[in-house]
């Protein structure tokens, strides 16, 4: 147990699917898992452990932003012996080629923030997904006939809709990266996984676009992200 997680060590599987929204964790458990049980409700950050096709798996919410992801991923890796975490998130599109509900597999996460500096005094702004885990997710997507788009993302400390000059932000992106979307948690997950010698990956569903007038409701965000959920679960 930790100050943020009331689960016993044996309550949590060695692989965790990690949506940001606690209600999305609840949705995954109720609609995809069997014999599941609620193993954490501290701060309403719901965690469930159950079975998918006989494979034991935990679904645990991370909350929003790098600090929250940093806390939960660190504790799951460090104190609960979790080996792999797959983030299941939503993102905004920074590529005109992307449409609502496209599924992204993240290769690199770039941040302008100082998460790494705060954690271990390192001036690092780029973190990579685990290559082996990504290969498994790609193979599963191919098997399930789900289109998967690979690319890099911005992991922001602010919701990009509120940024004063979004074009200026985009112009600051490193030119050697293929940043096609923006979200708020993946860098903390990737960096923490490497810091603790664990594995991490991130699947994202596009829910809005910088280039196109396409948006979905909060309820649709919660329930209409089934392609990435299927990829993650079938990869187990």
Distance CA 181, CA 98 (A): 9
Q: Is residue 71 predicted with pLDDT exceeding 70?
A: yes
Question: pLDDT at position 160, please?
Answer: 85
- Just list the catalytic residues: 208
Give per-residue pLDDT as tens, 38-55.
999 999 999 999 999 999
Question: What's the Cα-to-Cα distance from 177 to each of 104, 145, 204, 206, rounded to whole Å?
Answer: 15, 27, 18, 19
**Distance from the Cα of residue 171 to its chain's centroid:** 25
Better-scored residue on pLDDT, 12 or 215:
12
Q: Is residue 222 predicted with pLDDT exceeding 80?
A: no
User: DSSP 3-state assignment of 130?
Assistant: coil
Q: Is residue 13 predicted with pLDDT exceeding 60?
A: yes
Q: Is residue 126 predicted with pLDDT exceeding 70?
A: yes
pTM assigned to the model: 0.95
Q: Is residue 130 predicted with pLDDT exceeding 90?
A: yes
Question: pLDDT at position 221, please?
Answer: 60
Structural domains of the chain sorted by starting position, each given as residue range(s) with its CATH number in brackets? 9-234 (3.40.50.1580)
DSSP labels for 2-55?
A: BTTB---GGGS-SEEEEESSHHHHHHHHHHH-EEEEEEE-GGG--EEEEEETTE
Cβ atoms within 10 Å, residue 64: 15
Average pLDDT, the chain: 94
Distance CA 97, CA 132 (A): 27
| Contact between residue 164 and residue 117 where contact means Cβ atoms under 8 Å apart | no
| Contact between residue 63 and residue 198 where contact means Cβ atoms under 8 Å apart | no
Question: pLDDT at position 134, please?
Answer: 98
């Amino acid at each position: 147990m930790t100050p943020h997680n009331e689960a016993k060590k044996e309550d949590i599987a060695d692989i965790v699917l990690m949506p940001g929204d606690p209600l999305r964790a609840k949705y995954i458990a109720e609609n995809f898992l069997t014999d599941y049980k609620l193993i954490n409700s501290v701060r309403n950050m719901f965690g469930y452990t159950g079975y998918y096709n006989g494979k034991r798996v935990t679904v645990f919410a991370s909350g929003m932003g790098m600090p929250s992801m940093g806390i939960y991923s660190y504790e799951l890796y460090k104190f609960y012996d979790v080996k792999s975490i797959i983030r299941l998130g939503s993102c905004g599109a920074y590529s005109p080629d992307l449409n609502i509900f496209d599924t992204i597999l993240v290769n690199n996460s770039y941040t302008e923030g100082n998460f790494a500096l705060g954690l271990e005094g390192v001036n690092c702004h780029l973190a990579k997904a685990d290559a082996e885990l990504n290969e498994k997710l790609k193979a599963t997507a191919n098997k399930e006939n789900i289109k998967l788009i690979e690319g890099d993302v911005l992991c922001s400390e602010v919701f990009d809709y509120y940024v004063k000059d979004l074009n200026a932000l985009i112009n600051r992106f490193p030119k050697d990266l293929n940043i096609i979307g923006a979200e708020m948690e993946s860098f903390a997950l990737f960096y923490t996984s490497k810091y603790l010698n664990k594995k991490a990956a991130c699947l994202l569903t596009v829910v809005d676009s910088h280039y196109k007038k396409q948006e979905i409701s909060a309820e649709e965000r919660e329930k209409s992200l089934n392609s990435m959920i299927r990829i993650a679960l079938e990869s187990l």
